[in-house]
């Protein structure tokens, strides 16, 4: 049996509510996993929350509540609801405070302790609480403004805290050669190429051992062999990918069996700021535990505000609901997946969102759908007519249509969401142009041209059938409406069950299918206040 397609997002810190930077990773994961489901693969889409560590503990303290109450409230009121808002169809949601995770983390580190992969020492050096990271000398940059003359974290722009604490170290340095070999043998294991190069050159400089526990923090998972210390938050959080899958469960239990079947992960989606954790520390941990390495770590870019990473700490975070209330979840998903090349940074602007919504969704796909459904209702009593012989312009559309699913599939599997969407969009544009040229409303006036009219409308209906299948992972709600309105639901069943490859044949919609005009797929946007 083929291994399931197992995709993870990072687990999000619950020091605050989500902003669109977080929603961006989840959206990409949801689009890709829906795509793989429509390729007929078994999929397991994992997301969750990272609840331990100093950053979360301090947020709770500032609000005068216990860390547990803080995370419980924020997960229930903000992090779980945002998945609904985004229309994400995740299969699991792991919280690092759950027993299955705590237990798996302890099993994992005990195994590494037993094999001699950890030892006790003293850490002296800078720590950025924003990143929850022990910083290396090359990681800091010259500060500016109020921090002029000081060295600061390159991501948070603030000086680090200086730590001196006795804790346990993981022998990271022992894995440099094995990691380099792995990446030389698997040049596609980290993407895009810029991320791969960054990882390889970091390892080539030589790895130093790193603290895997904290003695000065108490909001975390106790070390199984020394309960006064907790597992360093990253070395707790990274393990979610295996604990959620079933690592640490009783041998022979369904969870343990599931782990054997679905590990290693197919894709870890991460932002570029957390690449080193995922492509250096995490595989080293896995090697130390004798577990397989993930197939791919893909590092996407940042959503920028004023040229800087959007963040809550800099008060530049926009809540996903602020955008989704304006244009809906489908347009949100479409916009972020099509306007920014996955792997590069990008800026969000209301003007750009509005312009693309109007041109590509309302006047593009929405208009094509309403033209077709209105004309089939008006000229053929809502029954899809039988096409006559195809002429040159019809054949051009048909040829583009049968090629499209394969091209889009290649781009989606490369995580080139913008490229995949652009391909579908160009068929929509071609077809809107075709309708304008063929002037079915003029053909309708001449009874001798009714076969030609039938052919033109049939061609458009076939395009909409394929567009609904290919756009479904990106825009689940509006494509479902489209699927119903062209009568495809009654013929082929639910849209989510439609296979990408099977959609490529011509002429699948039978003549006589009921077509109904429904409300606009992409209504006009309200004026911004
Ligand atoms: N808790 C860690 C991840 C642990 S995974 C084992 C963490 N959490 S986070 O909440 O700070 O960030 C989670 C993800 O959101 C990261 O992939 C990060 O890159 C992404 N984003 C946060 N702000 C972002 C932008 N402004 N733009 C795009 N993605 C950003 O790191």
Do you know the residue count of the chain?
A: 529
Q: What percent of the chain lies above the pLDDT cut of 90?
A: 95
Q: Is the CB of residue 280 below 6 angstroms from any atom belonging to ligand 1?
A: no
Q: Is the CB of residue 238 below 6 angstroms from any atom belonging to ligand 1?
A: yes
| Cα 485 to middle of ligand 1, angstroms | 39
Per residue in 229-242, pLDDT tens? 999 999 999 999 99
pLDDT-derived band at 526 (thresholds 50, 70, 90) equals confident
pLDDT-derived band at 529 (thresholds 50, 70, 90) equals very low
Q: Which of 22, 157, 279 to mutate to test the pocket of ligand 1 (most atoms within 8 A of CB)?
A: 22
| Cα 311 to middle of ligand 1, angstroms | 9
Q: Is the CB of residue 51 below 6 angstroms from any atom belonging to ligand 1?
A: no
Mean of all residue pLDDT scores within the chain: 96
Q: Is the CB of residue 320 below 6 angstroms from any atom belonging to ligand 1?
A: no
Please provide the distance, in angstroms rounded to a whole number, between the alpha carbons at the two ends of the chain: 54
- Which tokens belong to 4? 């399931």
> Which pLDDT score, from 0 to 100, does residue 309 have?
87
Determine the Cα–Cα distance for residues 271 and 340; give it in Å rounded to an integer. Answer: 14
Determine the Cα–Cα distance for residues 52 and 95; give it in Å rounded to an integer. Answer: 10
Q: Cα–Cα distances in Å, from 251 out to 6, 247, 248?
A: 21, 9, 8
Q: Which of 484, 510, 407, 476 is nearest to 88 (CA)?
A: 476
CA angle, 237 as apex, 179 and 297 as ends, to 5°? 40
Q: What is the mean pLDDT of residues 265-290?
A: 98
Look up the CATH architecture of domain 350-528: Orthogonal Bundle (1.10)
pLDDT-derived band at 137 (thresholds 50, 70, 90) equals confident
Q: Cβ distance 418 to 340 under 8 Å? A: yes
Domain limits, the chain:
350-528
Q: Is the CB of residue 270 below 6 angstroms from any atom belonging to ligand 1?
A: yes
Q: Is the CB of residue 79 below 6 angstroms from any atom belonging to ligand 1?
A: no
| Cα 281 to middle of ligand 1, angstroms | 17
Per residue in 122-132, pLDDT tens? 999 999 999 99
Whole-structure pTM value? 0.97
Report the nearest atom of ligand 1 relative to the CA of 22.
15
Determine the Cα–Cα distance for residues 92 and 94; give it in Å rounded to an integer. Answer: 6
> Which pLDDT score, from 0 to 100, does residue 305 have?
82
Per residue in 35-73, pLDDT tens? 999 999 999 999 999 999 999 999 999 999 999 999 999
Strand ranges for 252-313 from DSSP E:
267-271, 296-300, 303-305, 308-309
Nearest CA to ligand 1 atom 26: 310
Report the nearest atom of ligand 1 relative to the CA of 241.
6
Determine the Cα–Cα distance for residues 241 and 237; give it in Å rounded to an integer. Answer: 8
Determine the Cα–Cα distance for residues 221 and 446; give it in Å rounded to an integer. Answer: 77
């Amino acid at each position: 049996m083929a291994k399931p397609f197992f995709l993870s997002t990072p687990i999000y810190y619950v020091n605050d509510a989500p902003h669109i930077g977080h929603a961006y990773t989840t959206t990409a994961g949801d689009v890709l996993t829906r795509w793989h489901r429509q390729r007929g693969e078994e999929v397991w889409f994992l997301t969750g929350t990272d609840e331990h560590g100093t950053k979360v503990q301090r947020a709770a303290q500032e609000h005068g509540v216990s860390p547990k109450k803080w995370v419980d409230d924020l997960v229930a009121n903000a992090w779980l609801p945002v998945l609904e808002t985004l229309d994400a169809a995740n299969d699991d949601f792991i919280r690092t405070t759950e027993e299955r995770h705590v237990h798996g983390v302890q099993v994992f580190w005990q195994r590494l302790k037993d094999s001699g992969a950890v030892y006790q020492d003293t850490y002296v050096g800078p720590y950025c609480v924003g990143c929850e990271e022990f910083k290396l000398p090359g990681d800091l940059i010259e500060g500016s403004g109020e921090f002029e003359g000081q060295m600061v974290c390159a991501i948070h722009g603030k000086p680090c805290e200086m730590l001196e604490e006795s804790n346990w170290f993981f022998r990271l340095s022992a894995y440099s050669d094995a990691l380099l070999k792995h990446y030389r043998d698997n040049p596609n294991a980290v993407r895009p190429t810029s991320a791969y190069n960054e990882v390889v050159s970091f390892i080539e400089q030589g790895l130093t051992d790193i603290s895997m526990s904290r003695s000065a923090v108490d909001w975390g998972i106790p070390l199984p062999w020394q309960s006064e210390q907790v597992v360093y938050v990253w070395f707790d959080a990274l393990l979610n990918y295996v604990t959620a899958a079933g690592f640490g469960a009783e041998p022979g239990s369904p969870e343990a069996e599931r782990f054997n079947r679905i590990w290693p992960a197919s894709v870890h989606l991460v932002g570029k700021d957390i690449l080193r954790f995922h492509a250096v520390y995490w595989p080293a941990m896995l090697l130390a535990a004798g577990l397989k390495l993930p197939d791919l770590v893909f590092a996407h870019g940042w959503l920028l505000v004023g040229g800087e990473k959007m963040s809550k700490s800099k008060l530049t975070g926009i809540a996903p609901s602020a955008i989704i209330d304006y244009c809906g979840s489908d347009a949100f998903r479409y916009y972020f997946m099509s306007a920014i090349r996955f792997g590069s940074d990008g800026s969000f602007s209301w003007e750009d969102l509005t312009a693309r919504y109007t041109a590509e969704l309302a006047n593009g796909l929405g208009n094509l759908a309403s033209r077709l459904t209105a004309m089939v209702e008006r000229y053929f009593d809502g029954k899809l007519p039988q096409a006559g012989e195809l002429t040159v312009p019809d054949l051009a559309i048909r040829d583009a249509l049968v090629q499209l699913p394969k091209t889009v599939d290649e781009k989606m599997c490369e995580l080139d969401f913008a490229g995949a969407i652009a391909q579908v969009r160009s068929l929509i544009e071609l077809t809107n142009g075709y309708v304008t040229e063929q002037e079915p409303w003029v053909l309708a006036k001449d009874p001798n041209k009714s076969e030609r009219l039938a052919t033109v409308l049939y061609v458009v209906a076939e395009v909409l059938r394929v567009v609904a299948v290919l756009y479904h992972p990106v825009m689940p709600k509006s494509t479902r409406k489209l699927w119903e309105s062209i009568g495809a639901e009654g013929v082929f069943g639910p849209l989510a069950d439609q296979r990408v490859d099977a959609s490529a044949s011509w002429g699948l919609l039978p003549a006589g299918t009921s077509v109904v005009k429904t409300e606009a797929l992409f209504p006009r946007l309200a004026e911004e206040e």
